[in-house]
Amino acid sequence: MKEKTAEGVRLDKWLWAARFYKTRAVAREMVEGGKVHYNGQRSKPSKLVELHAVLTLRQGNDERTVSVLGITEQRRPAAEASQLYEETAESIAKREKVALARKMNALSMPHPDRRPDKKERRDLMKFKHGGEA
């Protein structure tokens, strides 16, 4: 693994190399959009990543908190990429709890077999808006 410690690696490049995002462009958008926090603060994609920094990432409904264990700018296989970081125990527990809540919600509110037709949509709108529409 090619290590870069003297200069460091850009945050968006590290996120891509660690396989959190599929492309550097997506990683850059997530950092610019405030979905990635570096040591508890928003940062720019050009921020240099340091060892033992704490990153908080939002990916869809999941939020991960990871500690940086290695720095590289090359995208390697997933087995090697997972050695670049370590997810905190609290983060794992929180993600599992949210996933379970999502699963339970899906079981208690199943989707209908088909979409409502025009009359059913109108009835739903009347019900939601209290007789209007």
Q: Each residue of 104-125: pLDDT tens digit?
A: 887 777 778 899 999 999 999 9
pLDDT at residue 4 greater than cutoff 60? no
Tell me: pLDDT of 78 over 90: yes
What value does the mean pLDDT take over residues 58-68?
A: 92
Residue 94 phi, psi (nearest 5): -65, -40
27: three-class secondary structure by DSSP? helix
pTM comes to: 0.76
**Which residues partner with 68 through β-bridges?**
85
Most confident of 6-10, 20-24, 127-131: 20-24
Given a cut of 80, whether residue 133 has pLDDT beyond it is no
* Section 9-20 average pLDDT: 96
Q: Report the pLDDT value the prediction gives residue 1, as an integer from 0 to 100.
A: 52
**Calpha distance 39→52 (Å, rounded):** 10
| Distance from C-alpha of 90 to C-alpha of 15, rounded to nearest angstrom | 21
Residue 56 is classified by DSSP as: E
C-alpha distances in Å from residue 116, one per residue of 29, 30, 54, 120, 129: 37, 36, 47, 5, 17
- In 3D space, the residue among 93, 94, 91 whose CA is nearest the CA of residue 67 turns out to be 91
- Sign of the CA dihedral running 45, 49, 85, 70: positive
Mean pLDDT value across the chain: 90
Helices (H), the chain: 11-17, 24-32, 78-81, 89-108, 118-128
